[in-house]
């Protein structure tokens, strides 16, 4: 656990060093240094670090030996990365380094383009345990990072580039297609109507969730394994409902007290969707936790946006330190229960 705490403390230290009289030059170097930290942390990990790391290693070795994917459902993008590395007879560690680099690049580029506080966003990316998802759902985390990168095209109403980002993401995990309708919700609806549409859709999903899922799984039988309730058996399962419920309330407080725009409403909508999708796990559909990943990532820019709307300096500073402190405790707790099986961290070198 020590290496994770030191990594976060190093990010926090760099955060305060580079944020003093910040400029573009300091922001760039902050992203480079912290990015390298995360790439090395995720890329050089051993097979025991992460729930599914060893499964991906077996898949890669099988691919190298037979030049074909053992699991035929693997998407073209991920198979292409394995094919490229296999051409050079590369060790599995090069695959984890490549995956870590792709994820960090797309997330950090999105943060650089969209966050009002790049330093806080990077800190939250780690402290809210989001980066550690990539130690588990490798393919989907690549897809999530690419969709997150494409968010700027959604805001600019660049339909072609946004669709291309979603299509690219879907080459790593087909669940990325869930982000396609978001473009039309954003472009075709007014600011307040987005929340109304969300409430209506949430109501019908909750009421008709069972027949809806039976219909969907006819076309996606590969996700039948997610139909269990084990996710909800520990506090790690319901933490989304508790933590993101608090963030939803914080967002509602900001909306009620301060002037907001359509972009803020959309990000608030994403957090609400993540909250609702995780509530659906109560029904035993753990697939929804996977879908929620496409929306939970927005927490790292939504919280800085909330703080940027607060006009009173003392109130902003109070919330700022509360967020830093609580997210650090959040990070420590889930390391202590070894969520995603990332503890202990060991190198791939035996």
DSSP per residue, 122-184: HHHHHHTS-GGGGGT-HHHHHHHHHHHHTHHHHHTT-HHHHHHHHHHHHTT-GGGGGGHHHHH
Cβ burial of 151 (10 Å; 0-12, 13-18, 19+) is buried
CA distance 32 to 79: 28
Instruction: Check: CB of residue 186 under 8 Å from CB of residue 305.
Output: no
In tens, the pLDDT along 185-202 reads 787 666 556 666 666 665
Instruction: Check: CB of residue 118 under 8 Å from CB of residue 23.
Output: no
**DSSP characters for 299-321?**
HHHHHHHHHHH---HHHHHHHHH
The set of long-range contacts for 13-22, using a CB threshold of 8 Å and a minimum separation of 24, is 15/119, 15/120, 15/122, 15/123, 18/119, 19/119, 22/119
What pLDDT does 230 receive? Answer: 45
CA distance 22 to 19: 5
The set of long-range contacts for 2-6, using a CB threshold of 8 Å and a minimum separation of 24, is 3/41, 3/345, 4/41, 4/331, 4/335, 4/342, 4/343, 4/345, 5/332, 5/335
Confidence (pTM): 0.88
Provide the residue ranges of all domains of the chain, joining segments of one domain with +: 1-177, 189-309
CA distance 209 to 225: 17
CA distance 248 to 239: 14
Three-class SS of residue 45? strand
What pLDDT does 235 receive? Answer: 46
CA distance 203 to 209: 10
Q: Which two tokens stand for residue 16?
A: 């305060």
Q: Which residue has tokens 């094919």? A: 83
Q: Specify the DSSP class assigned to residue 48.
A: T
Instruction: Collect the ranges in the chain with pLDDT lower than 70.
Output: 69-72, 188-240, 281-287, 350
Q: Which two tokens stand for residue 1?
A: 């656990």
259-281 b/e (C-beta count within 10 Å ≥ 16 → b): ebeebbbbbbbbbbbbbbbbbbb
What pLDDT does 168 receive? Answer: 97
């Amino acid at each position: 656990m020590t290496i994770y705490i030191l990594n976060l403390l190093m990010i926090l230290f760099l955060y305060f060093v580079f944020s003093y009289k910040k400029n573009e030059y300091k922001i760039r170097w902050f992203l480079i240094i912290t990015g390298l930290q995360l790439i090395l942390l995720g890329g050089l990990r051993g097979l025991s670090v992460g729930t599914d790391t060893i499964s991906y290693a077996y898949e890669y070795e099988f691919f190298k030996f037979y030049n074909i994917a053992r699991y035929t459902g693997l998407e073209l993008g991920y198979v292409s990365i394995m094919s490229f590395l296999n051409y050079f007879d590369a060790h599995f560690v090069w695959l984890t380094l490549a995956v870590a680099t792709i994820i960090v690049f797309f997330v950090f580029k999105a943060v650089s383009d969209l966050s009002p506080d790049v330093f806080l966003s990077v800190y939250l990316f780690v402290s809210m345990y989001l980066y550690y998802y990539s130690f588990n759902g490798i393919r989907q985390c690549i897809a999530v990072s690419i969709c997150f990168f494409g968010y700027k095209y959604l805001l600019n109403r660049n339909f072609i580039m946004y669709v291309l980002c979603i299509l690219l993401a879907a080459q790593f995990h087909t669940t990325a297609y869930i982000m396609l309708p978001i473009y039309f919700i954003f472009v075709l609806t007014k600011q307040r109507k987005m929340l109304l549409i969300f409430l209506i859709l949430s109501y019908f999903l909750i009421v008709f969730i069972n027949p809806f899922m039976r219909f969907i799984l006819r076309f996606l039988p590969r996700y039948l394994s997610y139909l269990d309730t084990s996710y909800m058996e520990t506090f790690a399962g319901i933490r989304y409902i508790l933590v993101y419920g608090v963030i939803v309330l914080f967002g509602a407080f900001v909306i009620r007290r301060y002037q907001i725009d359509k972009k803020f409403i959309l990000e608030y909508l994403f957090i609400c969707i993540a909250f609702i999708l995780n509530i659906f796990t109560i029904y035993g559909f753990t697939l929804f936790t996977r879908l929620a990943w496409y929306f939970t990532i927005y927490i790292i820019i939504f919280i800085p946006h909330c703080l940027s709307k607060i006009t009173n300096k003392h109130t902003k500073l109070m919330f700022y330190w509360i967020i830093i402190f609580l997210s650090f405790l959040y990070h420590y707790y889930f390391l202590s229960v070894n969520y995603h099986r990332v503890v202990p961290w060991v190198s791939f070198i035996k």
